[in-house]
Structure formats: structure tokens, C-alpha cells
Chain A
Amino acid sequence: MPFISNTDKERKEMLAAVGVEKFEDLLVNIPNKFLLKKDCCLEDAYSELEITRKISKLAAKNISSTQANSFLGGGIYDHFIPAAVDHVLLKPEFHSAYTPYQAEVSQGTLQYIYEYQTMICDLTGMEISNAGMYDGASAAAEAILMAARKTKKFKAIIAGTINPMYLEVIKTYTVGVGIELVVIPAKNGLVDLDGLKKAVDEETSCVLLQTPNFFGNIENAFAIEEITHAAKKALFIVAVDPISLAVMNAPSEYKADIVVGEGQALGNAQNFGGPLFGFLATNLSLRRSMPGRIVGATLDVEGKRSYALTLQAREQHIRRAKATSNICSNQALCNLAATVYMTLMGKEGLKDAATHSTTKAHYLAEKITELDGFDMAFAAPFFKEFTISTPIPAKEIIIKLQPKNIFPGIDLKQFGHENMLLIAVTEKKRKSDLDELIKSLKEVTNG
């Protein structure tokens, strides 16, 4: 049998040592009628060679963004990942270890999490980061719960321009726990400031904003911060694209209280939408309300610098029903990918990735709007993703370009916006890729 070490002979010796004759004797505590009388009906076992063939065949049924000219985003982005990232991930010491419960033999994991926390704090301008959440959506949901815990208020106000997937997950997390969600509709691709102003009151626990928002537009976080903090206790939660922070405001500049986001863009492949990882950073005054693991620097008995899980009194394995969250397994290896990525790219590399992405996106937007029938859907400034209005249904464009292996963007009709296409651009795009899309859009709309 694959992956099982003991031979039949060893099995027998061990059974004898335990004092039984056969394996079934060990099952005396299981009521006989529970025991399966016939095998379950899975396929027969594949050898390594056979499974390799099968998987390669299945993979070949997919068209990857390497084979295509893809402009898909909407939370998952095809940014460049240096080869060295994966070489670090494959080290068994990172790969097949578990949560660093025994600090003395887990310093590697603990230290990289500490370095990860430092980088997230530096990017966001915040004082403390946790060791990661499941994805951007669950990080946003947990931030809302955190705000309710801290403020003891239960009205959460959400900008209607956030990623609709975030909103879906937030609904699941907040229904039935006494939190009222108020979603402020969008106006011209940005959250409606008047509507927001009217909604924020003394019962408000938080305002959640995403910038750049789902449409790619940059929100006026400064104005929204003022509206939020006009209510005495309300916390300002902001979801951001970590790549954008290389060139855009650190959330501390607009006085965010909690910063969350999807971290996939930092060194993690698209992987059909998972695994992803969420980041969550805040200020020290909120530390005891935070969900998730946190690593702190400390000393060992000899006074040597070392690391340990800290502030554990918040967590489920200590506090059980009174914990700040139920999270146990997180997405540690994805956080490691992000840490190695940020280290390799460094200060200049992350700025390069951001600059290439936004300048190429602007080139593309400008050229597309020169085409007949195409226009920017909104006038707001954007970063690497933008929404265009299309002369024919977006779905039609997508279907027509598929044979050419061009994925022009996300059809926003599924989110209630007819004839709109959401287009994402990263540094991986060459001018020729952009020109190919422009040319093809022209062709498919000219009949």
C-alpha cells in the first residue's frame, strides 16, 4: 500500500504485542452493526504513473492564464511570482510542519510570521498584524465582528462598492449574531457620501470601505474617515489591495482603525480561487479584540532572542466559547509565500509592480475608450482595474473572444450592471497583449 510503512509481518508482530490476533479484535468497542459489511465503492487505486497521466489530462481540459491573454481580476490577480518563492514553500520544514505550538522547534515558522507581520504593518502603516485569515472576505467579516466586540455597538455600515463576494461572506458571518448590516448604495461607481452621512449614527460600530473598490475606483477614504469618526465610537475598516499600497496612501494616512484585504496578489498563484489568505492589521489599542494568531518576539531562558505565539488568551484553544474567533488552521504557507515575495521584490520591486500595473491599465483604458461604443463606466480615478461600458452585452464579447483565448474581463451583469466589463491589468501584460485586446474588442463590436 502506498505511504504505509509497515509490512504484513510487522503488523502481525505489533498486533501480537498488543495482545490480539487480528486487526478486527481492536474494534470491540464499535457496535457490530456500525461496521461496514462491504467495501465502499471508490475507483481502484491508481499508481503514481497512472495518476500523473490522469491529472495531466484533466489539467489539459483547462485553459490557464498562461495560455490565454487574461484580464480577469475581481479580487484574484495574475501578478508576477519570482521562481524562488516556490522553492522556499517546498522546504518540508515549512510545508509539513504544523502550527508552532512547540516554540523551541518552530522558530522558523514563528520568525517568518513575525517578519510577515512587520511587512504588513509597514505597508499599511498599522501597529499590529495577525498571522493571517482564510481570505479577504473572511478577514472583512471578522473585522466587523471585532468592531462590534470593541464598541459594543451592532450596526455595521458597508459601502455598496465592496467586492460582492466579501458582502456575501459578511452576511453569512453576521446573520443571527445580532449585527445589523446597512449597505450604502453606489453612486457613479463610488459609495454615496450623502447616503453614508445619513446612515452613520451613535449606534454605528463601523464603516467598511474598499479602496480601490470592486469597480476598480479609488474611493475618497479621507472624506469617509471623517464621516465615520463623526460618530463617537465607530471604527473605520478599510479593505485594500496590498500591491496598491506601494504607491497609494497607507491606510494610516486616512486614519483607518482596521485594515484588511486579500493577500493572494502577494506571491500566491490564482489556483482557481483558493487557497487565498486574508490579512488583518490594526492599532495596539484594539489588540485584545483581534482574531487569529499573533507572534511576538521574546527571549529564551539563556536570554537569546526568540519568538512565540502571543496574546493567546483571545484564542479558541484557551478561551473556548469566549474566544474572539474560532479560527485555528489559517493559511500560513500562503503568508510565507507573501513574505518571500515581498522580500524578493523588496521596496523597489513592489513599487515597480504597482507602477507597471497602473500605467498599463491606464494605457488600456485610454485606448479602449477611443473605440466606438466603449466608454469608461465611471469618471473616478482607478488603480489597476477599471470598468468600461460596452456597446453590446459584455457576455457576448467574452464568448466571442474565447476562441482566441482572450479573457477580456468580468461580466458585471451577474452583479446587476448591464453592459459593463471589469478589466484588470498587472505588470505581466506587455503592450502587445494590451493592443491585442484593443484590436479584438474593435473587431467583435464592429460586427
Chain B
Amino acid sequence: MASTIFEKTSSGRKGYTLPVNDVNIKLENCIPSEFSRKEDIRLPEVSELDVMRHFLELAHMNHCIEKGFYPLGSCTMKYNPKINETLARNDGFNNLHPYQEEDTTQGALEIMYELQKDLAEISGFAGVTLQPVAGAHGEFTGLKVIKAYHDFNGNSHKNKIILPDSAHGTNPASVVLAGFDVVEIKSNDKGLVDIQDLKSHVDDNTAGFMLTNPNTLGLFETQVEEIAEIVHSVDGLIYMDGANFNAILGIVKPGEIGFDIMHYNLHKTFATPHGGGGPGSGPIGVRKDLVKFLPTPMVNKQDNKYFMDYGNAETSLGKVHSFFGNFAVNLRAYIYIKMLGTKGLRRVSENAVINANYIQKKLEKYYNIPFKDQYCMHEFVASGVWQKEKYGINTLDIAKRILDKGYHAPTIYFPLIVPEAMMIEPTETESKETLDDFINAMIEIAKECEENPDLLKNAPLNTPVRRVDDTLAVRQLNVKFEW
């Protein structure tokens, strides 16, 4: 295990240079003594080489897409093209300040304008805001659109958001954050929204309905039209969680099949890097009459000049970010969309869907796949129930053994409606050989459950650390290094 950077410090060592300060003013003449720091700050004192060695040592302990397959369901861990990184580092974007005059930021504004347009076109919506910086942030913003819409129409009593039990955890959390109450409904035996249950929960207080489509089981919600009719009949709005948009690019436009609002995860569908947890980007698109509620400003164009448009300030839900969202992330998504074009984007989804179905088919004899009678979209959910019943091996053990084989584990224990769930999403960037290797590894693991269950219970064996005790991490809370 790597020692911390604090243990590598040596008093007086430096990792930076700065010019000599060429103004002759003393610090004490700037900051009154009562506001001066009493105790010296403590930060590492190391050389640049120390720094590079330290962080490389840490890097080596991480899995990443370039190292190996990363079938983390619902997260769309596709390859992130390198050209995005090179171009996003252009000084003309990197060192641009949000308070600059618009004459000096026309290139950046053009990119934002074009991206708003392209996302709207791809999804069938009338307007897009780039301000939300993550999927959950997009959900929050979309729910605030719903709130603004009902308030605008004098329907402030509408306080309930309905969502299925297969929803991502962020959905109910966002609902509460936005000031609504959560109503959870059941999925039917096909893994889809239970229409009867939906009907029985819809009433005049229904503000909206949130649905992931394809849903978290990797299944397309076939009854969208009926759902839309039911929810719209009480003037509720339908929100689409776009986490799984990678399945339907160029195949279905959510804005044309009944959805009123959706968010895009640019760090999933549009290949911007996940960055170890972020920064992502979670723009939202809305139907025409909802555009006026979007956060200010939007980028607009007049007489060939791009500008920040605050025209909807009176009806807008307000701001959700200090400035214009994660511009540098949005720039990467813009490049990606331009490089794929219409045909390329459809091809992305086609191959994502083919890859997922291929793995599902090849594993169906070895793992319980609750919905294997249907073709899946870009991901599917397998279950470890057979292994659990027969050999006492649970899904966590299987996941840890997958790490030993050089892969990241699937998303596990989610969705909650499938016991011992393993959600597998290969993405389109993976080749058949990679999938075959992964399939063989999964089959091998299924055999190991039978022949050598201890191997799984002790897994992982080949990772930088062995199984980590996360209950100890809570019990003996240690969240900063004492030095």
C-alpha cells in the first residue's frame, strides 16, 4: 500500500517555482493582524518528482477503461477519445473567464449554441440548457421545471412525483430535494411499469412521473404512450432519466414519444471522461412550452452574433450553477457528436445493443437472467441467485472474483427489484474478442462457484489490496491523516 503524501514530506523541499515578487509591499500591511492566520498552514513539502511518483503509484492501483473492460451497468463506461482531451486543452477555451465581454467569447458561445441544438435534434426536444453539471443535477433541474410549470398554471398543490421501484436512487433523492413527495409504484412481471398500479396512484396531486427508458433492467418501456396518456390526463409531466440514452440514439427520439423533459448524461452517452466520479455534465431538454422555465442564461444567436440570453428571466426556475455549467465537458461532447454525425450515433446504439445481447445470450446457461426471454437494449441484468442457492456464493463474491480476472465488476445489487443483481453494460466501443474473453471468465467463475467456492469467498486475490472492510471504515471513522 502506498504511504500517504504526508509521510513523504521533507521540510524545505519544493515542487514549484514562482517569479520574485516585484512589488514592494509587505503582507502585514495588507491583512490586518486580527485576520491573519494564527497557526501556519500544513501542506506537504515535496519535489515535483516526488509528486509524480506518488500519483503514479496511486494511478497504478486503479482500474480504468484503457486497462480493461468496465461493464459497470448504467454508467456507460465507453472509451473516451483522446482527441477530445487535446482539443479541450486549447488556451482559447482553458483560459476563458465567464465574465468576459461576449465579443471575446464568440467561439465558446458558438459551441454551446450548436451543442444545445444538436442535443435537441438527437432527442426531439425544443430547447436544451447546458447548465446542470451531472445527471442528478439534471434531474433536480428537470423537477424544478415541473414545479415552475405547475406554479405558472396556478397548480401549486401538485406535490407528488411518481416513479417505478426500478428507478435509480438519485430519482427519489432529487424529488425530495426539489420539494416534492415520492410515490413509488411497482414493476410488473415483465420488468416494466405496472400500468394498473400507476393508474391507482395518479390523481390531481400528481405533478409528474419519472421514468428511465430503456429502464434499469435494460428493457424498453413499451407502454410509454399509455403512460403518457395517464399522466397527461391529470396535467402531470413525464420526465425521462436519460442515463440509458446510449441504447436509442438515432433509433427513438424521447421528445417524440410522449416525454416532456429529459436529461442527458454527457459523461455516459457522449463519451466525456468519468474522471473517477466527475466532472460530468447533465443538460436537460424540454418540450416547447417548457423552454421558458429553463435556467438562465441560454445561448442564443442574432445577426450572426452569439449571446447569453436572459429573456426568460421572469418565468425561469432560476440558476442551478454559478455560471454556464461544465463548459469544458460540454466541449468534449460537442467534438464527439461532430465526429460521429447522424449515422455514427445510430451505429453507436446499434453496437451497444448488439454487444449486450451477445453477452446475455452467451451467459444465459450459467447465470439466472430474469428477463432473458426478451432482447435487451444496451445492458441487461443477471442474477446470482443460482450460485447463492446452490453454493452459498453471493453476488458480492462473484463481483470480487471478476476483479481478479482483470475486469471491473458490473453494477451489483441494483436494480433493487432483482435479487443478487448484476447489471452488465458492455458499450459499443468493446470488441467481440473482449466480450468473448469476459464471457469465458464469467463461465469460469460459474464453474469455480461449484468446484472451489472458497476461491470466491476469499476474492479478490490479485488486486492491489484484498477485500476491504467497509464496516470498519464506518466504525472507526478515519477521514483525514493525522501528521
Contacts and interface: CB of A to CB of B under 8 A. Distances in A.
Contacts, number: 696
A248 B31 contact: yes
A45 B340 contact: yes
A371 interface: no
Interface in B223-260: 224-225, 250-253, 256-257
B55 A39 contact: no
Contacts of B289: none
A63 B104 contact: yes
B250 A39 contact: yes
Given A36-B252, A62-B107, A347-B41, 10 more contacts: A14-B355, A18-B361, A91-B56, A98-B274, A101-B409, A107-B61, A169-B320, A329-B136, A329-B282, A360-B21
Contacts of A311: 474, 477
A355 B20 CA distance: 12
Given A272-B93, A330-B134, A351-B41, A98 B323 contact: no
Contacts of B154: none
Contact of A302 (B46, B79, B277, B466): B466
Contacts of B39: 250
Contact of B472 (A31, A298, A355): A298
- Identify which of B97, B98, B182, B431 gathers the most chain A CB atoms within 10 Å of its CB: B97
Interface in B84-136: 85-87, 89-101, 103-108, 110-111, 118, 121-122, 133-136
Contacts of A275: 133, 278-279, 326-329
Contacts of A330: 134, 277-279
B176 A274 contact: no
Contact of A272 (B30, B323, B343, B399): B323
A42 B324 CA distance: 24
B170 A304 contact: no
A326 B140 contact: yes
5 contacts: A114-B479, A169-B321, A218-B32, A310-B474, A344-B48
A419 interface: no
Given A111-B4, A115-B4, A431-B22, A106 B62 contact: yes
Interface string B296-337: 000000000000000000000111111111111100000101
Interface stretch (B195-203, B344-352, B447-455): B344-352
A363 B27 CA distance: 11
A44 interface: yes
B348 to A, nearest CB: 7
Contact of A111 (B35, B58, B103, B480): B58
B95 to A, nearest CB: 4
A5 B430 contact: yes
Given A95-B64, A97-B62, A250-B39, A59 B277 contact: no
B478 A3 contact: no
A10 to B, nearest CB: 5
A323 B374 CA distance: 34
Contact of A103 (B275, B326, B430, B468): B468
Interface stretch (A73-81, A183-191, A193-201, A224-232): A73-81
A206 interface: no
Nearest to B75: A98
Contact of A308 (B179, B322, B428, B473): B473
Contact of B136 (A27, A70, A328): A328
Contact of B42 (A40, A122, A315, A317): A122
A294 interface: yes
Given A138-B321, A273-B327, A430 B22 contact: yes
Interface stretch (A82-90, A150-158, A438-446): A82-90
Given A59-B90, A97-B63, A343-B51, A118 B480 contact: yes
Contacts of B98: 76, 270, 272-273
Contacts of B389: none
Contacts of B9: 346
Interface in A1-45: 1-6, 10-11, 13-15, 17-20, 23, 25-31, 34-36, 39-45
Interface string A309-340: 11111011111111101111111111010001
Nearest to B466: A300
Interface in A277-300: 277, 284, 287, 293-300
B14 A348 contact: yes
B432 interface: yes
- Judged by DSSP, the binding face of B is loop
Interface in B1-30: 1-2, 4-6, 9, 13-16, 18-19, 21-23, 25-27, 29-30
B381 interface: no
- Identify which of A18, A270, A312, A329 gathers the most chain B CB atoms within 10 Å of its CB: A329
Nearest to A299: B469
B2 A111 contact: yes
A275 B331 CA distance: 11
Interface in A348-369: 348-353, 355-356, 358-363
Pairs A-B, 7 closest by C-beta atoms: A273-B323, A59-B92, A45-B341, A273-B98, A333-B275, A332-B277, A176-B179
B220 A310 contact: no
Nearest to A49: B83
A326 B174 contact: yes
Interface in A100-123: 100-109, 111-112, 114-115, 117-119, 121-123
B164 to A, nearest CB: 13
Given A29-B219, A249-B37, A359-B27, A310 B479 contact: yes
Contacts of A62: 92-93, 96, 104-108
Nearest to A361: B30
B357 interface: yes
A14 B175 CA distance: 41
B6 A115 contact: yes
A353 B27 CA distance: 12
Given A98-B77, A320-B169, A104 B466 contact: yes
Nearest to A72: B97
B133 to A, nearest CB: 5
Contacts of A31: 222, 225
A54 interface: yes
A319 B77 CA distance: 25
B81 interface: yes
A246 B37 contact: yes
Nearest to B376: A26
A178 B179 CA distance: 8
